[in-house]
Amino acid sequence: MPQDHECACPNVTIGSTSWSVVSGGRHAIFWIRRKDSALLPALRQLGLIAAIRGDASEAAALDAFTSRLLDIPPARWPSFRELAALAPGGDQARDRLVELCNALAEHGADHTIATELGRLPADLVSLFRSPGFDFSDLQRLACDFDATTFADFAGLCASAPPGAVDLTGRLCAALPTLRRHRRRVPLGRAAAVADTLHAAFEDPTTHILACQPVGSLRRYDATVGDITLLVATPAPDRWLGRVTDQLATADVGHRGKRTATVLVQGEEVTLRAVPPEELGCALVWYTGSRPHVQQLSVRARSRGLRLTPSALLDPGGHPQPCSTEAAVYEALGLPSIPHELRHGTDEITRAERGDLPSLITRSHICGDLHLHSLWSDGRDPIERMLRVARRLGYEYVAITDHSQSAAASRVLTIDRLERQRDEIAGLRERFPDLSILHGAEVDILPNGRLDFPDPVLERLDIVLASLHDEAGQDAQRLTARYLGAIRHPLVNIITHPTNRLVGRRQGYDLDFDRLFDAAVQTRTALEIDGAPGHLDMDDALARRAVAAGVTVVINSDCHMADRLGRQMEFGVGTARRAGVSRTAVLNTRPLNELRAFIARKRNR
């Protein structure tokens, strides 16, 4: 028996307790002597974490295991594996117990608990790290209320009776100051992760009636706080069970009746399943933004109603029929507010006045004026870009590879630009239904000059100018470089004007009022660049530009054919966030008007 084994093995520490490892093996089976009861709280906490995850069998196994430890005199302790065999559940549960015990012995209680805690939904972990909340609070929230995100916590508070002093009351009091610890995910990455799941759910056997990303992803925020998919299905619990059963245990952070948190490509995704009659309120609630929903809630209260994530309740607490978002807004005396405009600023007042802008849509876009190919740092040949552009229904595209001094992996020398012209001439014959403009994305050099001489620029159909290289210059000098390019008669578009990189580099701090003024005077378009790394101008700057009378252009700045459509969608989404209408956008105009726009500046 283990207790008789003469130990020559090292001690290990769990918390403040030292344990003797007296045997080991291929499966890391070990025997330990209990020096005190520090192990028991650790096992209890691991059991609570399993319960929070919604893993009832692991929680029960840990509970039974802990009880067995209490019952057995230390002198007669068997091995963990032998103990685990006494736990309920199948081999999987026992293997998991051995895994946890090994982790406790090898890494200590604090580390093991921190690791398991890290698998829980990130917002629950944020709550745990804030003062006043413990594991049992988390367990109640996750298991009793299926509440695992800040949006759920806000939903609980909306349903709580005024002055609630229990857990919900504490949560409501803490909510305004709770800080999210999770990192925000760039829009492009979040959309790719959501697409992966969306595609998996398209199987008709999954019985879903609607599947919609919500939150900041749906609102086209440049970075996404939580990737959440809302699914309408007649049997939410069963659907979530089917989905999570197909995933590895390690990839499920929580599994409740209406909500599951899963890991997809390393990113946390919240799946919400609701019955169809709750879809309208759920879409409004989980799309946010939080300030927008708070304002709607105040409006509902002023009408004797209560807005919750599942229903709009009348004064008697009876749900109003709201299976669509439009029905929710209508019940609140409002027209539907486009999700991109739900910033929580003045959109509700404007909606009330009938003063919401008529937003541009993807179908208004006639062409894409900023594409890269293998001639510079694009991944695909021009022909492949054209095939996708044709499939997207475009009337025209501009091929705009990088100029000779750009820092791109490949660039266009003047000689290569001429050869590219020949290739495009050949492609025009093969794509008679698509007008191909030969352009270039020309660097604005540190001395303010353009990277191609004027005779070269004159031979292009369209010229885009970009300030990629800050060259250590201050805002005044950078503004002057831009102004020089805007005033150049051959420059038609200024691309990604602040040159920010989302999440990595701040945009230039320029004198934008002067840039807008010059752009209006010279008929130069400023770009909303849909590449997820740029999304530049952002919505705030684009709103200012359009208010100043600037013509904007929405481009994909695409380097890979298969992202052409998606990046245009991001650009349009950013423009919609800015309240941009079709008339302000250059590439909603047919080709003859586009050519006239270019010619007018050249002929000034």
Chain positions contacting Zn ion, by CB under 5 A: 441, 466, 557
CA 300, CA 256: separation in Å to the nearest integer?
29
Q: Which two tokens stand for residue 472?
A: 């250590």
Give min distance, CB of 526 to Zn ion, in A: 14
CA 523, CA 505: separation in Å to the nearest integer?
29
Beta strand 319-320 pairing with 312-313: antiparallel
Give min distance, CB of 557 to Zn ion, in A: 4
Specify the residue, 435 or 466, whose C-beta has the smaller distance to Zn ion.
466
Yes or no: say if 497 and 553 are a contact pair by the CB < 8 Å rule: no
Angle 50-56-62 from CA coordinates, rounded to 5°:
60
- The DSSP bridge partners found for residue 307 are 312
Specify the residue, 239 or 394, whose C-beta has the smaller distance to Zn ion.
394
Specify the residue, 58 or 557, whose C-beta has the smaller distance to Zn ion.
557
DSSP codes of every residue in 491-552: --EE-STT--BTTTBPPP---HHHHHHHHHHHT-EEEEE--TTT-BS-HHHHHHHHHTTPPE
Specify the residue, 272 or 534, whose C-beta has the smaller distance to Zn ion.
534
Give min distance, CB of 429 to Zn ion, in A: 26
Specify the residue, 172 or 535, whose C-beta has the smaller distance to Zn ion.
535
Specify the residue, 310 or 466, whose C-beta has the smaller distance to Zn ion.
466
CA 323, CA 280: separation in Å to the nearest integer?
4
Yes or no: say if 46 and 62 are a contact pair by the CB < 8 Å rule: yes
Beta strand 185-186 pairing with 210-214: unpaired
Report how far Cα 576 is from the mean position of its chain's Cα atoms.
Answer: 17
Give min distance, CB of 193 to Zn ion, in A: 25
Specify the residue, 47 or 378, whose C-beta has the smaller distance to Zn ion.
378
Half-sphere exposure of 495 (CA within 13 A, CB side): 28
Give min distance, CB of 444 to Zn ion, in A: 11
Give min distance, CB of 413 to Zn ion, in A: 17
Specify the residue, 368 or 441, whose C-beta has the smaller distance to Zn ion.
441
Specify the residue, 235 or 407, whose C-beta has the smaller distance to Zn ion.
407
Query: Of 133, 114, 120, 128, which Cα lies nearest the Cα of 54?
Result: 120
Yes or no: say if 244 and 255 are a contact pair by the CB < 8 Å rule: yes
Specify the residue, 340 or 538, whose C-beta has the smaller distance to Zn ion.
538
Specify the residue, 280 or 497, whose C-beta has the smaller distance to Zn ion.
497
Give min distance, CB of 370 to Zn ion, in A: 6
Yes or no: say if 239 and 128 are a contact pair by the CB < 8 Å rule: no
Give min distance, CB of 489 to Zn ion, in A: 21
CA 591, CA 588: separation in Å to the nearest integer?
9
Residue 222 — φ and ψ, nearest 5°? -65, -30
Q: Which two tokens stand for residue 375?
A: 């001639």
Within 8 A by CB and 6+ apart from 161, the residues are none
Give min distance, CB of 531 to Zn ion, in A: 7
| Backbone region of residue 219 per phi and psi (left: phi > 0; alpha: psi in -120 to 50; beta: other values) | alpha
Yes or no: say if 485 and 468 are a contact pair by the CB < 8 Å rule: no
Give min distance, CB of 496 to Zn ion, in A: 6
Give min distance, CB of 187 to Zn ion, in A: 18
Report how far Cα 330 is from the mean position of its chain's Cα atoms.
Answer: 29
